[in-house]
Structure 1
Amino acid sequence: MLVAFIDRVFQLKEHKTTIKTEVVAGLTTFAAMSYILIVNPSILGLSGMPIEGLITVTALAACLGTLLMAWLTNYPIALAPGMGLNAFFAFTICMSREIPWEAALGIVFYNGILFLLLTVSGIRKKIADAIPDALKIGVQCGIGLFIAFIGLKNANLIVDNPATFVSLGDLSEPAVMLAFLGIIFTVILVVKKVTGAILISIITLTVIGIFIPTENGYLTSTPSGIVGMPEPIGNTLFAMDLVYPIVNFASTWDLIFALMFVNMFDTIGTLIGVSKRANLTDANGKLPKMGRAMTADAGASIVGAGLGTSPVTSYVESATGAAAGGRTGLTAVVVGICFLLALFLTPLMVVIPIMATTPALVMVGIYMMESIRSLDFDDMASVATATIALMAMPLTFSISEGIALGFITYVIVKLGVGEYRRISAITYILALVFLLRYLLNLK
């Protein structure tokens, strides 16, 4: 009876799959993306957010977003707080702009509302088509470099230097060397296509950290237990400040736009990649329920803001589940259940040292750099745009600055070579607005 119900709800026969296959695919996807339970709190905690409960928030946001995707689309796509988006939240909004994290959550909420309205109205597609590919590539690669740079900085592999701004850290320090070897170990696992490579790396480094002494004990502290109740989320639940972004709109509009921009193209790229792997596209190579999938993404970000986390988005790691045979929303449901169950392992997760997350951040950065292959290197305007955007993000420690400089570079170069007709009206407008922001020092 139950089997027949599941088959009917998820249309398993129509998609030529089985419950067993979908469950295995769901477990595979969870293993590939479960590192976010550890990495997201470590990044958001740097924004000033109370770190207690952030593991719970991350798991709940991932669970609800993934279940929403399964309900609206019946696709094997999982969601969680996005890498890059969480870095934007912590380092650009909270640290660089000195905006309180409560107000940053308000910005995330309005980003979700804007994303939802653009999706429902159909304007989203027009914006996506109007933005030059070079800028999309530059932004994705730049975020990858930014995330990797954060990981290297957290492990003291890269440190500040008054003469050269940055320099190599002290590799004679056991923790620093361990982080470096952890990166190499993770790359080897990924190259060998080991399922859950990033999670395995985090666990391995955490275990080794038990034997590395520090001034206050050991690199990895002793957990209070193995299983325990999830941490409460009262500190962040509905803590978002919805007034600040409105009152200070002149200094927050670009942040809302940048979040929407990054979230939109991150989601579109993930959906296209995963849908091709799962054979979900139609005869024209398009995803039939793209609008619903984007709606799920936007809705998940709104819910995530209420819980207390950065924007929630579709995860490219869903491709691992698709490769394992996942074809329906049942795969996503299994992922959502796994995130809930993981909450009861919080005592183990809270003792993971930040150094152990470095390989995860670097590996995510490497993954995001793959899109550079799509750049047209015969078009110097495109190369310049992508290069400026991807260099600016880690060097200015700001995703929004990279986006702004990318827009300005593209438009001015195209105008300079007489190719003004190839620039869309939207790109013209955004480049002008960003340029005026710099000239008038509107930050």
Structure 2
Amino acid sequence: MKETIDHATLQTFEESFGADKKNRVAMHATLANGILESCKTVEAVVENRHSFSITIEAGDITDQKKSGRCWMFAALNVMRLEVMEKLNLKNMELSQAYPLFWDKLEKSNHFLENIIETLDEPLEGRVVSYLLKDPLGDGGQWDMFSNLIRKYGVVPKEMMPESKASSETKTMDKLLTLKLRQFACALREGNKEGKSLENLRALKETQLTSIYDMLCISIGISPKKFTYETRDKDGKFIRISDITPQDFYRDYVSMDLDHYVSLINAPTDDKPYGKTYTVQYLGNVRGGKPVCYLNLPIEELKKAAIAQMQDGKAVWFGSDVGQSSDGKSGMMALNTYDLEGLFSTSFLMDKAQRLDYGESLMTHAMVLTGVNLDDSGKPNRWRVENSWGDEHGEKGFFVMSDDWFNEFTYQIVVDIKYLNEEQRALLKQKPIVLKPWDPMGSLAL
């Protein structure tokens, strides 16, 4: 073929397309129904039934609405199960607006500190450009959520309910981002003028006051103490009086966050298995524990997740939810759609290649609340609690095939007791620091 597409080449393309009658059938179906609806498969539905040999009772399905807080919703959906068990409750929700407030404030401080750390970096350089791109988006990681909980605790949803801005964060995020870029400019200009580090941090405190005020106006004032009242499954009235969010977490969730570890599956050449990793500039709470992952083969992630669920505990996990999945029916399976049959072409990239070439990364966090083990004890499908409301999937629950888990699940969080002795020893390594734009630095939305 020549360097350019000429008319003769176009004629060849057209003749090749018309020579195969299946192309015209596929075209008519797709024009009428859309690409995905034209190639949905029955096989995926039959193979991925909503029945599981291990099932964990969950609370009512939650809805993150028009916000990127899946990582918070998923973590709180795991944590509320502890409250429900301790208080004998049929259902309850922990406030998702409460950690959102503190996350935005902490991310603002983290961003401004990153700007201070990079004052000598060129404005047009990749590092500063990366920092300015998304100073405080909604997304996050498990370790970032853990840092919020350690510092601020949790509150029942009644104590800090949703606001319009927390349920639909676009406008709030846009305005906060505008202020943070303005503040970054002021800090860098102040540095050019010769202001000391002490003076720049004094300026930062004034800037954060403005961010705090905007958050209070948008989300509400976070409670310092509260009284929680409810009734248990048996109708018994419960009152927990004058308690702080930190004490509520300690007494009624009481998960030891230091015991929970992030396992990832990133089979790329630059990330050998058996090593720990962190990501430069990634985080929210300054002074908190840095994000840290242990990279293991996918089968080891599955074993740990199954072991935790066999003990009746749900599992937070992160995946690329938009790949080969149907959000309406809640189907996540490699054969959800027969795209190769529709287009008569293959889409061949393995997991490592998809990571290396920007085709896939972790985009969404959910909760594993069940798994189906076959007669040999091997998983063939997984039960997933999502946070998109009960109109998606089977009343909010999705089903994930095991081969989809292999290809598009990137992270799980489990209690360290479900790791073997060798894996625990690996966690003691000093983490390898990844570049800020590495795919393992992606945030779940």
TM over 0.5: no
Q: Which has the larger radius of gyration?
A: 2
- Which has more strand, going by share of residues? 2
The structure whose RCO (Cα within 8 Å, separation 6+) is larger is: 1
TM-score, length basis structure 1: 0.24
- Which has more helix, going by share of residues? 1
TM-score, length basis structure 2: 0.24
